[in-house]
Amino acid sequence: MVKSWSHGYFCCFAMMLNLTLAVLRKLKHLAPYHVRTQLDYTSLIFDPLPAYQLRRLQRVQNVCAGFVLRKYANESDLVTLIWLDIAKRRKLSVLKLTFKSLNDTNFSQYLRPSTHAVPAYNIRSSVAPLLRIPKESGTFQDTAATFFNSLPSHVRNIKDYGLFCKSIMPLL
């Protein structure tokens, strides 16, 4: 029941993005950025997504790139715009939210992922946090723990949000 509801909602959401692009054709300079913010929102809400839905979102992003470049765009054109593809944008969004949940004091305590400290090296002073992977797979906590734990220990130890974002970009 839940899968059919979320599938129907996702199809309506993807159709809404395409309709938004059609309405915003006259405002070409605003259309890609409006749709891309919706794509970022989607990457956190509908996590994890099946491959066919990721391809559908990728096509929407390619249309946005076509608006900017004024031609038919594919994934190779995203590189010229310095845009990440959908899979990398999703990973970036999940990592940013995970960082905020671990380091922001205003983040709700009951939503914080549970961590355990594991020494990165044999040196006592360097301890890199690792997230506990929950028993349920296919959840946001599972995805967040998998992505965050795959980062190098020096990146997991960063406490500054801007520096964290700069450090994870080459790793995507």
Same domain? For 72 and 37 the reply is yes
* Amino acid code (one letter) for 55: R
For the ranges 25-29, 31-35, 45-49, 113-117, the one whose mean pLDDT is highest? 45-49
Please name the residue ranges forming H helices in 24-110: 31-45, 51-69, 75-80, 86-103
Domain boundary among 55, 83, 111: 83
Percent pLDDT > 90 in the chain is 10
- Rounded mean pLDDT of 153-159? 89
Query: Domain end: 40, 60, 83, which one?
Result: 83
Looking at the structure, do residues 95 and 160 belong to the same domain, yes or no? Answer: yes
Judge if 36 and 109 occupy the same domain.
no
Whether residue 64 sits in one domain with residue 9: yes
The average pLDDT across 138-161 equals 87
pLDDT tens profile 38-81: 777 776 777 777 888 888 888 888 888 887 787 888 888 888 88
Q: What pLDDT was estimated at residue 67?
A: 77
Q: From CA 125, how far away is CA 128, in angstroms rounded?
A: 10
52 shares a domain with 20: yes
Amino acid 74: pLDDT: 85
Residues 63 and 108 in one domain: no
What separation in angstroms does the CA of 18 have from each of 31, 98, 116? 11, 30, 43
Number of domains in the chain: 2
Within this chain, do residues 17 and 79 fall inside the same structural domain, yes or no?
yes
109 and 61, same structural domain?
no
Judgement on whether residues 38 and 56 belong to the same structural domain of the protein: yes
Residues 61 and 95 in one domain: no
Same domain, 116 and 61: no
Q: Are residues 16 and 56 in the same domain?
A: yes
Per-residue pLDDT reduced to its tens digit, 113-144? 777 655 555 554 456 778 877 777 777 788 88
Q: The whole model's pTM is what? A: 0.72
pLDDT at 168: 93
| Average pLDDT for 27-42 | 69
pLDDT at 36: 74
Regarding predicted confidence, which is higher, 29 or 35? 35
Measured from the Cβ of residue 97, the count of other Cβ atoms closer than 10 Å reads 17
Residue 162: per-residue pLDDT = 92
- For the stretch 2-13, pLDDT in tens is 455 566 777 777
Domain encompassing residue 60: 2-83
